[in-house]
Chains A and B, each alone.
Chain A
Amino acid sequence: MPLHETEAIVLQSYPLGEADRLVSFLSRSMGRVRGVAAGARRPKSRFGSTLERMSYVRIWFFERETRELVRINQCELIESFVDVFKDYAAGVALAVMAEVTEAVLPDREAGDPSFRLLLLSAQAIKRHMEIDLPLAYFALWTVRLGGWLGSFERCARCNKQLAGIPAYASRAVSGVFCGNCRGTGMKAISPDALNAGVKMLADRLDKIEASNIPKTALRELSRYSLDLIEHQIERKLVSREMLETAV
């Protein structure tokens, strides 16, 4: 039974049995892993608050050869996000990010970009208590890292520049199209949203000023990206519905 040590972000945790917790976490070195923290629900558990959702932790766990679930041995808090959940909308945004990560990333496949994306987006929400930019950034980059995003600058069919002309897209096809190449069922996507998308794909989240981008464009981008994600995972995101009533 090899012991692993890695940085991780707790995605979800559910009660298991009498006093245990089933924890799904995104680790830096091994990707998405699920494990059991024995006794974690007891008041005097050595895990304390470390396994709360979105906690950024250093975690030690044993792999068990015949089982899918690892055994979590120890956990230390690097950064807590518990206080973010005091703001309902911010808590829902974190929940959407956790659910998306859980749904799109395969089991045990290390992906440092996904880890950094989740961490930086969550930290941005915590720092500014503003969700539109971090959520749009997170959703857009998730689609990009998943390889389901086309260019925002040129028509996906005829390669025409999209700046200044009406553009169209749908959740079923990657890429954005000009008016001539528009397919059935495609919806208009605003120039503001395309511009914001181009900016976000070119820069780090902390370099982008939320005040320079209209909120409507950010929300349009979030919707577009989450639509693509739902199309890929072939189901609705449970937490997304909460988002619509929270903001």
Chain B
Amino acid sequence: MPDFAPSITRLIDELKHLPGIGQKTAQRLAFYLLRTDREQALALADAIREAKEKIRECSVCNNITDTDPCFFCTSATRNKKTICVVEEAPNISAVEKTREYNGMYHVLGGALSPLQGRGPEQLKIKSLIERLKGGTVEEIIIATNPTAEGEATAVYLSKLIKPLGVRVTRIAMGIPVGSDLEYADEVTMMKAMEGRREL
């Protein structure tokens, strides 16, 4: 590795901690930042600092928020009878984009993944069960990712929640809109068959 000034090396090292950024990309980004004007570069540093200082987890749903409880948990117009369970906070915006859902959320903080040392204890499952105890919630929509881990998590949750008398549903999985059945593998096709509905 070529020798850079210590402050550049430090910047490169910090950038390398970001996901998907290796040595080369980190160098490119570092030199890009050094070339841009001072205000612009400092605006980035400022944005990072402000976000880190103000943003925290919602104490109810674990969403990322700058007010606690978060926007969804305090909104008077949202339907408190349904909770949509997602793996990570950014998944909420994917559901919100549909404008079809007006209920509450719960962020698990990942999916069950033994290989990453994530068991039920490591996920925010206890607090979800706590939220069901008031009797307000009638339906849990499980919107974990359509992966082996996401499916395992969905099944695990449904086994836990159904005995409490709460309806548990899973978002439909299967053939993406605009694709061709010919290219669907058997698992995708099977999930699509399982999730079929009356027309």
**A, B in one complex:** yes
Could you tell me which A residues sit within 8 Å of B by CB distance? 12, 15-18, 43-44, 46, 48-50, 52-54, 76-77, 80-82, 85-88, 91-92, 95-96, 98-99, 238-239, 241-243, 245-246
* Highest count of chain B CB atoms <10 Å: which of A12, A46, A49: A49
A80 and B187 alpha carbons, distance in the complex (Å): 7
State whether A77 touches B114 (Cβ < 8 A): no
Could you tell me which B residues sit within 8 Å of A by CB distance? 19-20, 112-117, 119-121, 146-149, 151-152, 155-156, 176, 178-179, 183-188
**Cross-chain pairs A/B with CB under 8 angstroms, 25 sampled:** A43-B176, A44-B176, A44-B178, A48-B183, A48-B187, A49-B146, A52-B187, A53-B148, A53-B149, A76-B185, A77-B187, A82-B187, A85-B148, A85-B155, A88-B120, A91-B114, A91-B152, A96-B114, A98-B115, A99-B114, A238-B115, A241-B117, A242-B114, A242-B119, A245-B121
State whether A48 touches B115 (Cβ < 8 A): no
Question: In the complex, which residues of chain B have a beta carbon less than 8 angstroms from the beta carbon of A50?
Answer: 185
With contacts A52-B187, A77-B185 taken as known, whether A85 is within 8 angstroms of B151 at the C-beta atoms is yes
State whether A49 touches B112 (Cβ < 8 A): no
Question: In the complex, which residues of chain A have a beta carbon less than 8 angstroms from the beta carbon of B188?
Answer: 48-49
Least distance between A147 CB and chain B CB atoms (Å) = 25
Question: In the complex, which residues of chain B have a beta carbon less than 8 angstroms from the beta carbon of A91?
Answer: 112, 114, 148, 152
With contacts A241-B117, A243-B114 taken as known, whether A86 is within 8 angstroms of B155 at the C-beta atoms is yes
A80 and B146 alpha carbons, distance in the complex (Å): 14
Least distance between A103 CB and chain B CB atoms (Å) = 11
Least distance between B192 CB and chain A CB atoms (Å) = 11
Total inter-chain residue pairs, C-beta < 8 Å:
81
Q: What are the 4 tightest A-B residue pairs by CB atom distance, in nearest-first order?
A: A95-B114, A85-B152, A239-B114, A49-B187
A94 and B184 alpha carbons, distance in the complex (Å): 25
Question: In the complex, which residues of chain B have a beta carbon less than 8 angstroms from the beta carbon of A54?
Answer: 148
Least distance between A12 CB and chain B CB atoms (Å) = 6
A220 and B185 alpha carbons, distance in the complex (Å): 40
Question: In the complex, which residues of chain A have a beta carbon less than 8 angstroms from the beta carbon of B186?
Answer: 77, 80
A85 and B152 alpha carbons, distance in the complex (Å): 5
State whether B117 touches A48 (Cβ < 8 A): no
State whether B151 touches A86 (Cβ < 8 A): yes
Question: In the complex, which residues of chain A have a beta carbon less than 8 angstroms from the beta carbon of B117?
Answer: 238-239, 241-242
A4 and B186 alpha carbons, distance in the complex (Å): 23
Question: In the complex, which residues of chain A have a beta carbon less than 8 angstroms from the beta carbon of B152?
Answer: 85-86, 88, 91
User: Which residue of chain A lies nearest to B185 when distances are taken between CB atoms in the complex?
Assistant: A48
| One of A16, A88, A239, A245 near B156 (C-beta < 8 A) | A88
User: Which residue of chain A lies nearest to B121 when distances are taken between CB atoms in the complex?
Assistant: A245
A105 and B90 alpha carbons, distance in the complex (Å): 36
A17 and B112 alpha carbons, distance in the complex (Å): 22
Question: In the complex, which residues of chain B have a beta carbon less than 8 angstroms from the beta carbon of A48?
Answer: 183-185, 187-188
Least distance between B170 CB and chain A CB atoms (Å) = 11
